[in-house]
């Protein structure tokens, strides 16, 4: 089975922001993100355990710089060209506009995204 990033269903779109996601690729999903500098996942994850993402992700950073803060206090800086694994227990901040492809366990990622989109709607009020 294969899919093209351009064919992934759009989950969220806004100025300088795009999230496309295909679920049910076995037990995984694929997500393509374009996010501007300054995007902070912290407020979107508030209310989850440790106010962080409990879903692991595997991916590749096509462009930009992505800072990952882990629950244990450690920090990673992902840069253009980096392949990565993010274990459960993290949050992130976009330090330079990013383009990124991620693969995640479908069910767990759905839980996190539903929570984040709910928080996003509350913040927009």
Is residue 22 in some structural domain? no
Is residue 5 in some structural domain? no
Res 62 pLDDT > 90: yes
pLDDT in tens, 67-93: 999 999 999 999 999 999 999 999 999
Q: How many CB atoms lie within 10 A of CB 106?
A: 18
Burial class (CB in 10 A: 0-12, 13-18, 19+), 111: middle
Is residue 9 in some structural domain? no
Is residue 6 in some structural domain? no
Is residue 59 in some structural domain? yes
Is residue 27 in some structural domain? no
Q: Can you name the residues that pair with 61 across neighbouring β-strands? A: 100
Position 101 confidence tier, pLDDT thresholds 50, 70, 90 = very high
For residue 93, the domain's CATH number is 2.60.120
Range of the domain at 110: 32-124
Is residue 21 in some structural domain? no
CA-wise closest residue to 112 among 102, 124, 97, 99: 102
Handedness of CA 58, 42, 33, 24 (dihedral sign): positive
Is residue 86 in some structural domain? yes
Task: Give the mean pLDDT of the chain.
Answer: 95
Res 1 pLDDT > 80: no
Please count the structural domains in the chain: 1
Handedness of CA 112, 113, 114, 118 (dihedral sign): positive
CA-wise closest residue to 108 among 22, 18, 20, 28: 28
Provide the whole-model pTM. 0.92
């Amino acid at each position: 089975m294969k899919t093209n990033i351009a064919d992934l269903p759009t989950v969220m779109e806004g100025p300088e922001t795009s999230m496309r996601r295909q679920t049910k690729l076995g037990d995984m999903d694929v997500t393509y993100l374009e996010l501007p500098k300054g995007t902070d996942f912290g407020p979107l994850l508030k209310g989850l355990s440790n106010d962080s993402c409990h879903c692991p992700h595997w991916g590749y950073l096509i462009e930009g710089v992505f800072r990952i803060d882990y629950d244990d206090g450690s920090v990673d800086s992902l840069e253009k060209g980096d392949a990565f694994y993010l274990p459960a227990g993290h949050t992130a901040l976009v330090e330079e506009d990013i383009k990124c492809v991620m693969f995640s366990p479908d069910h767990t990622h759905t839980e996190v995204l539903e929570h984040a989109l709910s928080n996003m709607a509350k913040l927009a009020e």
